[in-house]
Copies of this chain bind each other. A is one copy, B any other.
Amino acid sequence: MRRAFDLAVSAAVKGNHPFGAVLVNNDEVILTAENAVNSANDQTRHAELSLVAEVRRTLPPKILAECAIYASTAPCPMCAYAIWEADIKRIVYGVTYETFARLVTRGAPYITIEEVFKLLKTPAEITGGVLEEEGVRAYNHWPKRTSFPS
């Protein structure tokens, strides 16, 4: 989880939104990714999506089913569906949807990854709010003069 927070800070230092993601198998970090929306000028470059974009090149499907993804903040529905399609069934995230909406989006509506998996009738082990206070601290590095989401 802390590795994901470090990646979030790393993203922010590069002028991106402070989000990071890590793929873990048997306590080993297999893949990492960080938000690159501003540096790549590509709004789809969320950390989790960039991570999932790599999985087919890196991992056999059987390994994937055993992996867990750690996201520094609760994943958006775009990333949630990408995680679902990658057949990753263990999801851990730091900052919750509620906290993110309160601190960043000023109460804008959101769709949770729990809801996405439920609508797709797919059981998964999803845990949110892990080390949340530490995760929120990454937002202190939020690059100035950038708005959210774009």
Q: Which A residues form the contact surface with B (CB < 8 A)? A: 41-45, 49, 52-57, 61, 76-82, 85-87, 108-111, 115-116, 119-121, 149-150
Contacts and interface: CB of A to CB of B under 8 A. Distances in A.
Nearest to A50: B44
A149 B122 CA distance: 15
Assembly of this chain: how many copies?
2
- Residue in A54, A61, A119, A121 with the greatest tally of chain B CB atoms within 10 Å: A119
A69 to B, nearest CB: 14
A41 to B, nearest CB: 5
A19 to B, nearest CB: 14
A44 B78 CA distance: 10
- Residue in A44, A45, A81, A121 with the greatest tally of chain B CB atoms within 10 Å: A44
A36 to B, nearest CB: 11
A76 B77 CA distance: 10
B44 A52 contact: yes
Nearest to A112: B119
A86 to B, nearest CB: 6
22 contacts: A41-B56, A42-B53, A42-B56, A43-B53, A43-B55, A43-B56, A43-B82, A44-B49, A44-B82, A45-B53, A49-B78, A56-B150, A76-B81, A76-B85, A77-B77, A78-B81, A78-B82, A87-B150, A109-B121, A110-B120, A111-B116, A115-B119
